[in-house]
């Protein structure tokens, strides 16, 4: 399996278990759906979306999750399965969180199920689509009402 260093000095390592579909990666703000199993260094599972049968959904790259996840998931493609090994400074640092001791290196088996473009991009595409529709409607209106069309006595393409 290929290993990729996603942070200086091996603080976030991604080991690709199954490549995803070739193509784009989620961009900052993309809404992603992942399945994961989180483990401590001794192999103890501390959390699992797989066990709950409920994918975890969040917006990548904007600080909603630990920094190691933001880096790791942003580097994945749709359908990819990888193991992320995350040093404490990209995880929970010197804080103990539930069953996770302070200063823990964590391992996550992560599958990027799917993702949507960032909300701003979705909004921009909708606005662009509306603008193109208005332009097309205006073109048809002006084409049908041009002076040559009225003189020809017909609509589109019936000039004699």
Active-site entry in 46, 58, 97, 113: 46
Q: Which of 70, 92, 100, 115 is catalytic?
A: 92
The DSSP string of 82-124 is EEEEE-GGGTTTT--BTTB-TT--EEEEEEEEEEE--HHHHHH
Sign of CA dihedral 10, 67, 21, 24: negative
Token pair 């690709």: residue: 16
User: 36, 56, 90, 115: which one is catalytic?
Assistant: 36
Is 46 among the residues known to form the active site?
yes
Q: Which of 56, 90, 108, 115 does the annotation list as catalytic?
A: 108
CA separation for the pair 31, 28 (Å, rounded):
9
Among candidate residues 13, 56, 66, 115, the one labeled active-site is 66
Catalytic annotation on 66? yes
- 139 exposure class (CB count in 10 Å sphere: 0-12, 13-18, 19+): exposed
Q: Which of 47, 56, 100, 115 is catalytic?
A: 47
Active site residues: 36, 46-47, 66, 92, 108
């Amino acid at each position: 399996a290929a290993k990729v260093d996603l942070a200086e000095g091996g603080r976030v390592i991604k080991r690709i278990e199954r490549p995803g579909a070739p193509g784009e990666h989620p961009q900052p703000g993309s809404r992603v759906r992942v399945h994961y199993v989180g483990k401590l260094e001794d192999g103890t599972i501390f959390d699992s979306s797989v066990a709950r049968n409920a994918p975890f959904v969040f917006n990548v790259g904007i600080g909603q999750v630990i920094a190691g996840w933001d880096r790791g998931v942003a580097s994945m493609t749709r359908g990819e399965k990888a193991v992320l090994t995350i040093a404490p400074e990209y995880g929970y640092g010197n804080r103990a969180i539930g069953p996770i001791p302070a200063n823990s290196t964590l391992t996550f088996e992560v599958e990027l199920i799917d993702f949507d473009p960032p909300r701003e991009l979705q909004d921009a595409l909708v606005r662009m689509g509306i603008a193109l529709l208005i332009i097309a409607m205006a073109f048809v209106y002006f084409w049908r009402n041009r002076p040559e069309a009225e003189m020809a006595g017909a609509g589109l393409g019936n000039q004699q």
